[in-house]
A = this chain, B = another copy of it.
């Protein structure tokens, strides 16, 4: 069963699959915790960048820096086996949040 395309397994085979699924999910949860703590540190750095830019009168967004980050991320994604298109979308998502933070800092001056 399972490789016959009949759309499911039962009994002991299903039990083994569910046990393996629980193991994989525990590993995914560990990775997610690491990513959350890393991103918390990342936002601490970008908050510092936001204050520094506001103090120095520099604009919140920096297209040249973003282009460098995207190019670097493509290289790292290739190296690590992550889909570069996904990596770029993810960075865009994070940068959009960072720019919102920077604008809020600049607006509060």
Query: Is there contact, CB below 8 Å, between B90 and A55?
Result: no
Q: Is the CB of B80 within 8 A of A8?
A: no
Least Cβ–Cβ distance between A30 and chain B, in angstroms: 9
Q: How large is the interface on A (under 10, 10 to 19, 20 to 34, 35 or more residues)?
A: 35 or more
Nearest-Cβ distance from residue A83 to partner chain B, whole angstroms: 8
A31 CB within 8 Å of chain B:
yes
Q: Are B81 and A40 in contact (CB under 8 A)?
A: yes
Give a binary string over A53-92; 1 marks a CB under 8 Å from any B CB, 0 the rest.
Answer: 1011110000001000100110011001111001101110
Chain B residues, CB < 8 A from A91:
32
A41 to B80: give the CA distance in the assembly, Å.
Answer: 8
Contact among B42, B49, B53 for A32, CB-based, below 8 A: B42
